[in-house]
């Protein structure tokens, strides 16, 4: 008994096989275009999502890095209390650094920052309190650390960019959720369209398939051209998407930087080559999985 | 009469009930030796096609034991069906040729889809086209051929993988008498080369001219099995089987 599963390649076999795949592929041009288009849209969305997520993470982490906690001390604070607070801050493992800023230095810093706008010489006495400037290792710890410092005696008030931190974290989470939902929907749509395309090809080729089965072609051999067709849909769609994204990047990137100077993106927030590889791989995966399922359902081998 | 060699095709107590409840075959026992030429005759719907379909495992028997070239077809798992089919060539009334492929491509297709080497395809296709007498029309499309030529192409395709058995389901059903004679002669030639041939037919002239073994089916049962039979019962040496 011949081993039906072994397919040792020779040029004639390869040519025959590719001919069959191309024949399938060119049979339903309209469906093929629809399938490729849907994959392209899906992959463009995925690319944009990965880009925006990267950009947000980039901007976010830079903003969060700048977040520090300022603990203002009471005006009647005693040196012993200051020492105790310094001790407490040094003990907390969540805290990366804590710097004591005496009010004289605070005033000097204020003068430096507001030079030319406010005449601080008008001040007859220093209205600023002493304070500690505290940085945490992780931005997520900021609220808890602030709360624990607030309870210490001699501490008047604790201030940090609460709103900014919370907004940023929330925005990131919401955008991620919306993005994932949209992409999942598009993945499903792309998958359904590809599998329908394959179904039409299977239907169009039912005579060939019947004959293949009759003469003893193995299931794998019969399925392979259809899987390749799905793969082709996925990869072409992904390449199209990559081309669109690249065009968009070239056309829109300078304008984006111009329009949003505060974003302060150093460069592309994602590795372009890695992104292209990921997107093409995802396209190929949609194509193969969708056609695999479709062939499994519509082709009894 | 028991043969010392195991039969090429053997059915024992084979029953086939279709899902709609139709009993296509009922306790069929049949042995076909290597190199035999057998006609299956009987009215439409008596189970001739069903019997052939069981042999190439297009249908699965409800009960009984089927052996084809040493393979237990009734127990064959789906994955092993391709291996069985490579031992068999099947020919139909409607040829089942691919209209967008040439004769050469149609025949080669049957080898190519089994993963055959191009070298073997190049050697084997001309050989079978020569056997069926279509070498000069190998570049033509089925639509450009007569019915007889199309059936010869289909036979070439059935033979290209060197099967030991050729199953024909009404091979001359769509042909005029001249083409029928031609195809019959071709089947005989193939049989002389050692291939076991089983032909389900309605064609009285073919059966009567050939005078080969005739197995008669009626309502899913074998009612007669004659060594050198005619289309109608009682004209040859008859071995009537008890149910």
Domains of chain A in start order, with CATH, are 11-63+166-298 (no CATH), 68-160 (3.30.70.3040)
pLDDT above 50 (res A2) = no
Task: Give the residue among B162, B8, B14, B2 at the shortest CA–CA distance from B70.
Answer: B8
B89 by Cβ neighbours in 10 Å (0-12 / 13-18 / 19+) ranks as: buried
Kindly determine whether residue B113 and residue A221, on different chains, have CB atoms separated by under 8 Å.
Answer: yes
A177, containing H or E segment:
helix A162-204
Residue A168 has pLDDT above 60, yes or no: yes
Residue B96 to residue A211, Cβ atoms within 8 A: yes
Q: Taking CB atoms and an 8 Å cutoff, what residues of chain A touch B81?
A: 213, 216
A4 touches chain B (CB under 8 A): yes
Cβ distance B54 to B40 under 8 Å?
no
Contact (Cβ atoms closer than 8 angstroms) between residue B167 and residue B52: yes
pLDDT averaged over every residue in chain A: 81
| Chain B, nearest residue to A9 by Cα | B117
B77 and A CB contact within 8 Å: no
Cα-flanking dihedrals φ and ψ of residue B29, to 5°? -120, 125
- The verdict on a CB contact (< 8 Å) between A221 and B90 is no
Tokens coding B108: 């080669």
Token couple for A19: 């001919």
As to burial, measured by CB atoms within 10 angstroms (0-12 exposed, 13-18 middle, 19+ buried), residue A116 is: exposed
To the nearest whole Å, the CA of B242 is away from the closest chain A CA by 34
Question: Which H or E run contains B89?
Answer: strand B88-92
What is the CA A65 to chain-centroid distance, rounded?
Answer: 20
The first and second tokens of residue A18, run together, are: 């590719």
Among A239, A236, A240, A241, CA closest to A197: A236
CA quadruple B165, B170, B175, B177: dihedral positive or negative? positive
Tens of pLDDT, residues A121-148? 667 777 788 888 888 887 778 878 888 8
- Using DSSP's 3-state secondary structure scheme, residue A89 falls into helix
The pLDDT assigned to A126 comes to 76
Count other C-beta atoms under 10 Å from residue B38's C-beta.
20
Q: Contact at 8 Å (CB) between A23 and B98?
A: no
Give the pLDDT of residue B201: 93
pTM: 0.71
**Domains detected in chain B:** 1-87+163-243 (3.40.50.300), 98-162 (no CATH)
Q: Over pLDDT 70: what percentage of chain A?
A: 88
Report the percentage of chain A scoring pLDDT > 90. 8
Euclidean distance between CA atoms A110 and A70, whole angstroms: 15
Q: Which of A63-67, A289-293, B43-47, B65-69 has the lowest mean pLDDT?
A: A63-67
The three-point CA angle B89-B90-B92 to 5° equals 155
Tell which of A2, A207, A216 to mutate to test the B interface (max B CBs under 10 Å).
A216
Query: What is the average per-residue pLDDT within A230-236?
Result: 92
Rounded to whole angstroms, the Cα distance separating B185 from B181 reads 6
Answer yes or no: are the C-beta atoms of A194 and A231 closer than 8 Å: no
Q: Please tell me which residue of chain B has the smallest CA distance to A213.
A: B82
Token digits of residue B214? 């005739």
Q: How far apart are CA A237 and CA A234, in angstroms?
A: 5
Q: What is the largest CA-CA distance in chain A?
A: 105
Which tokens belong to A271?
A: 């590795």
**Could you read off the pLDDT of A9-59 as tens digits, one per residue?**
678 888 888 888 888 888 778 888 988 998 899 889 888 888 877 777 777
* Burial of A100 per CB tally in 10 Å (0-12, 13-18, 19+): middle
Burial class (CB in 10 A: 0-12, 13-18, 19+), A268: middle
The pLDDT of residue A71: 85
| Ordered alpha helix ranges (H), chain B | 48-55, 81-85, 103-112, 118-132, 147-159, 177-192, 204-210
Q: Does A215 touch chain B (CB under 8 A)?
A: yes
Q: Does residue A292 surpass a pLDDT of 80?
A: yes
Nearest to A233 by CA among A155, A285, A181: A285
Nearest CA in chain B to A2: B83
Give every residue of chain B whose pLDDT is below 70, as ranges: 1-5, 234-243
Spatial neighbors of A227 by CB under 8 A, at least 6 apart, are A288, A291, A292, A295
For B156-169, the pLDDT digits (tens) are 999 999 999 999 99
| Among B residues 117-136, those touching chain A with beta carbons less than 8 Å apart | 117-119, 121-122
Among the partner residues B98, B117, B158, nearest to A10 by beta-carbon distance:
B117
By CB atoms closer than 10 A (0-12, 13-18, 19+), residue A250 is: exposed
The pLDDT score that the predictor gives to residue A5 is: 43
- According to the model, what pLDDT value does residue A27 have? 78
pLDDT, tens digit, for every residue of A236-246?
A: 999 999 999 88
For residue B98, the chain A residues in CB contact (below 8 A) are: 207-208, 211
Between A and B, how many CB-CB pairs are < 8 A?
76
C-alpha distances (whole Å) from A219 to each of A19, A293, B74 are 19, 14, 19
Q: Which CA distances in Å does B4 have to B29, B72, B145?
A: 18, 19, 45
Structure tokens at A235: 């990869």
| Residue contact B79–A219, C-beta within 8 A | yes
Q: Would you call A214 an interface residue with chain B, using a CB distance cutoff of 8 Å?
A: yes
Structure tokens, A208 = 């060939």
Q: How far is CA A274 from the centre of its chain?
A: 13
| Contacts with A210 from chain B: Cβ below 8 Å | 96
A210 at interface of B, judged by CB pairs closer than 8 A: yes
């Amino acid at each position: 008994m011949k081993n039906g599963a072994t397919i040792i390649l020779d040029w004639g076999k390869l040519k025959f096989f590719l001919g069959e795949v191309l024949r399938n592929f060119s049979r339903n041009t309209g469906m093929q275009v629809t399938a490729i288009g849907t994959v392209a849209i899906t992959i463009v969305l995925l690319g944009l999502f990965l880009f925006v997520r990267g950009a947000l993470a980039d901007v976010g982490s830079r903003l969060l890095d700048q977040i520090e906690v300022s603990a203002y001390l009471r005006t009647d604070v005693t040196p012993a209390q200051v020492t105790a607070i310094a001790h407490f801050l040094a003990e907390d493992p969540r805290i990366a650094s804590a710097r004591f800023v005496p009010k004289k230095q605070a005033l000097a810093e204020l003068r430096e920052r507001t030079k030319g706008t406010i005449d601080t010489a008008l001040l007859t006495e220093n209205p600023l309190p002493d304070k500690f400037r505290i940085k945490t290792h992780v931005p997520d710890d900021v609220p808890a650390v602030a709360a624990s410092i607030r309870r210490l005696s001699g501490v008047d008030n604790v201030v940090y960019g609460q709103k900014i931190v919370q907004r940023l974290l929330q925005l990131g989470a919401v955008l991620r959720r919306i993005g994932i939902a949209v992409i999942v929907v598009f993945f499903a749509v792309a998958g359904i369209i590809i599998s329908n395309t394959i179904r039409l090809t299977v239907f169009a080729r039912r005579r060939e398939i019947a004959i293949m089965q009759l003469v003893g072609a193995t299931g794998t051999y019969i399925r392979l051209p259809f899987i390749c067709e799905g793969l082709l849909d996925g990869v072409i769609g992904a390449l199209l998407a990559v081309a669109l994204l690249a065009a968009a990047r070239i056309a829109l990137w300078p304008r984006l930087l111009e329009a949003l100077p505060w974003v302060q993106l150093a460069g592309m927030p994602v590795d372009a080559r890695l992104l292209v590889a990921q997107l093409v791989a995802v396209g190929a995966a949609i194509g193969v999985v969708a056609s695999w399922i479709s062939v499994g359902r519509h082709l009894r081998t | 009469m028991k043969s010392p060699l195991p039969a090429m095709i053997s059915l024992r107590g084979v029953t086939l009930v279709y899902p709609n409840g139709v009993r296509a075959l009922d306790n069929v026992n049949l042995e076909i030796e290597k190199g035999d030429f057998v006609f299956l005759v009987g009215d439409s719907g008596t189970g001739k096609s069903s019997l052939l379909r069981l042999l190439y495992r297009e249908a699965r028997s409800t009960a009984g034991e089927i052996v084809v070239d040493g393979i237990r077809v009734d127990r064959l798992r789906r994955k092993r069906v391709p291996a069985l089919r490579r031992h068999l060539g099947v020919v139909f009334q409607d040829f089942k040729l691919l209209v967008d492929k040439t004769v050469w491509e149609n025949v080669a297709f049957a080898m190519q889809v089994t993963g055959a080497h191009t070298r073997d395809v190049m050697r084997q296709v001309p050989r079978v086209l020569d056997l069926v007498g279509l070498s000069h029309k190998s570049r033509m499309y089925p639509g450009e051929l007569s019915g007889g030529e199309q059936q010869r192409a289909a036979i070439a395709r059935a033979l290209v993988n060197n099967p030991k058995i050729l199953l024909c389901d009404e091979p001359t059903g769509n042909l005029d008498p001249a083409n029928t004679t031609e195809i019959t002669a071709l089947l005989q030639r193939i049989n002389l080369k050692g291939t076991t041939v089983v032909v389900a037919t309605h064609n009285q002239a073919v059966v009567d001219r050939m005078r080969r073994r005739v197995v008669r089916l009626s309502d899913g049962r074998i009612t007669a099995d004659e060594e050198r039979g005619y289309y109608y019962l009682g004209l040859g040496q008859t071995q009537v089987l008890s149910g």
